Amino acid sequence: MNIDFSDYHENSILLLEKWRERYSKVEYPYKVVVNIFYRQFAMKQIWNKELDNSFVLLKKSESDLYISVDKLHVKYNESANTLLVNNRLADLMEIHKNLPIGNLKYSHFIELINKAQHGDNNSTEEIEYSYIFYRLLNEYIIYWAGFGRIGYGRISAFEEITGCSLDEKKSYPVFTFDTLSNMITPILGFYAKKIYQPLSPFWKSSD
């Protein structure tokens, strides 16, 4: 089954353009990174109960993939809202800055943010590309779980979202948010490069 993720890509571009207008040159790079980890931590929080559980207690709980995905988006949004209370997200980012959250570390972005705040367009673009990439990756994982709810196993669901075959007799690592992110990343890399169009340079010569 081919799933078109281009709408998520286009929506990500629109959000980045809106944030460019909303935030100052200094604020913007950090705000984009915050939004990356807003999604990462929200996904991590629902991994056991909603995502991986789609292949256990919630397996075959639905008959329609898109209803399953809609319900997962609701649970994702509920999880994301809890991160807005009492600056919880910023605290989590700092506490876990050297630990992978779905194969992504906040510490990786600290220098990029600093460079982007001081006129480096390449660093700004890397941050923006990361936002788009991990937005898509998380949607892949939500669809992966959606397939579980209509009766697929973890491996067959992976094959559906990626179009890549896996040998079920081969030993694979236990599926976690981090390991699944690692498995999808190289495959998504090919797709993302095909559809990715960079925004205009963030810093102009007149800035």
101-129 pLDDT, tens digit each: 999 999 999 999 999 999 999 999 999 99
The average pLDDT across 72-98 equals: 95
Contact 138, 163 (CB under 8 A): no
What gap in Å lies between CA 39 and CA 35, rounded to an integer? Answer: 6
Mean pLDDT confidence for 147-154:
97
Residues 150 and 67: their CA atoms lie apart, in Å, by: 10
CA 143 to chain centre: 12
Domain holding 57, by residue range, is 6-195
What's the structural domain count of the chain?
1
Does residue 70 fall inside a structural domain? yes
Where residue 190 falls among pLDDT bands split at 50, 70, 90?
A: confident
E strands in the chain? none
Q: Give the C-alpha separation, 116 to 113, whole Å.
A: 5
Residue 62 has pLDDT above 60, yes or no: yes
- Does residue 202 fall inside a structural domain? no
In a domain, 201, yes or no: no
pLDDT value of residue 171: 67
Residue predicted with more confidence, 141 or 6: 141
Average pLDDT over residues 40-64: 97
Band (pLDDT 50/70/90 cuts) for residue 167 is confident
In terms of average pLDDT, the best of 85-89, 145-149, 194-198 is 145-149
Of the candidates 180, 130, 177, 179, the residue with the CA atom closest to the CA atom of residue 159 = 180
pLDDT of residue 36 exceeding 80: yes
Is 128 within a domain? yes
Tell me whether residue 53 is in a domain: yes
**Does residue 200 form part of some domain?**
no
| Rounded Cα gap, residues 50 and 139, in angstroms | 14
How far from 41 is each of 35, 80, 97, CA to CA, in Å? 10, 8, 12
The residue with tokens 């506490």 is 95
Residue 118 lies in a domain: yes
Question: What angle in degrees, to the nearest 10, is found between the helix axes of 121-149 and 65-82?
Answer: 130
Give domain status of residue 1, yes or no. Answer: no
In this predicted structure, the answer to whether residue 147 has a pLDDT above a threshold of 60 is yes
